[in-house]
Structure 1
Amino acid sequence: MYADITIKAHCHHPAEVESILLQHNAEYKGLDAQKDTFYGVDYGKLKLRQGTIENVLIHYNRIWAGEAKQTEVMMYLKNPGSATIEAVCGGLEVISELRKLRKFYFIDNVKFHIDQVEGHGQFFEIEAIDLDGSVGTKTLKQQCSYYKELLQIDDEDLVHDSYIDL
């Protein structure tokens, strides 16, 4: 199980955001066409992400922690096979599907997304990740706050909902 802190916001000037990231030596990982399928579960969210770069099956719960969300991840499977998907999701109700184009950037343990979400517009995410518990929630929050300020994200642009809840 790993944890992350995430800030999501409307992105009015994606080219400016990309320029700032590149000026700070962010590593561009690519453009991913993604389809997210969400299944009905009793706790949190169960999502199957199918993309050209990211393919994951993830069960998680997000909790508000100030201006960011703290994510508790119960299951994270990279590149799940059809048998695994059937074993975990088979018989569950599909509650929503979402399509987006996502650009990925990384600086150390912080992942940045610039998303074009079908039917909803452009968004930006800062995701500070602690894979093994060595970074700590306090540092993750500090990283998110630092990048929120660096990227000039205004509080009124923050998005408190998941894309499927918009």
Structure 2
Amino acid sequence: MPSNVEIKAKVSDPARFAEKAAELSQSEGTIIRQHDTFFNCSQGRLKLRDFMNESGQLIFYERPDTDGPKLSRYSISPTSDPPSLRAVLSDALGVKGEVRKERRLFLIGQTRVHLDTVEGLGNYMELEVVHLDFFCFVCFFLKVAEDLMEKLSVSKESLVTGAYMDLLLQGHKET
């Protein structure tokens, strides 16, 4: 199963964060609209990501609910009919909840930097250090993530645990 190292944090100044990410990536970033539907499952998380353009991905992932850098293992299957797949999975498993967001994606080296505006929650950032496989050293990727946190002025106090779905279920509100 592929893996990556992830970090998620609250962003208090999205314009400043975007400015720093654009400078580091030498790009204005790519805007991606996403509607994620989370389904009940016995382990990990299962979500259907609808890109709102007749394409999507079914994603299963496992990662610890801790703040700071964490190893995430995932499997992804593309779909060209997210609404139909959502209906089948909803009937079979039940819906845990939904997350709607606009994501601005920046690529910095092997890291995907996301500036997310999450409906009902506000502004967050995610770092995903990708291309992590069995032969790579996790410590190296943790260091890459921590260095980017520093360059993007992400404080340890702003780190969050869990997924956006968890924050919504826990009653977190947009600030």
State the TM-score bracket (shorter-chain normalisation): 0.7 to 0.9
For 2:122, give the aligned amino acid: G
Q: Deviations over 1:42-85 (max 9, x none)?
A: 11000100014772111111125772221011x21133546993
Structure 1: gaps (5+ residues): none
Partners of 2:104 and 2:116 within 8 A in 1: yes
Which secondary structure state, in structure 1, belongs to the residue aligned with residue 160 of structure 2? coil
Whole-angstrom CA distance in 2 between matches of 1:36 and 1:25: 26
Work out whether 1:98 is the aligned partner of 2:95.
no
Q: Give % identity.
A: 28
Is this contact kept in 1: 2:66–2:161, CA < 8 A?
Answer: no
The answer (yes or no) to whether the contact 1:32–1:52 under 8 Å persists in 2 is no
CA RMSD of aligned residues (A): 2.5
What is the CA distance between 1:31 and its match in structure 2? Answer: 1.1
C-alpha spacing 1:99/1:159, structure 2 compared with 1 (3 Å): same
| Distance 1:25-1:95 versus aligned 2 partners, 3 A rule | closer
User: Equivalent residue for 1:116?
Assistant: 117
TM, length-normalised to structure 2: 0.82
Letter in 1 for 2:30: G
Q: Is the 8 A contact 1:110 1:129 kept in 2?
A: yes
Relative to structure 1, is the Cα distance of residues 119 and 132 closer, same or farther in structure 2, using a 3 angstrom cutoff?
Answer: same
Partner residue in 1 for 2:32: 32
Runs of 4+ displaced beyond 6 Å: none
**Structure 2, unaligned runs of 5 or more:** 168-175
**Greater strand proportion:** 1
Which range moves more in the overlay, 152-161 or 41-50? Answer: 152-161
Matched, 1:16 2:16: yes
TM-score, structure 1 length as denominator? 0.86
What residue number does 1:138 align with? 139
Output the CA distance in 2 between the equivalents of 1:114 and 1:102.
6
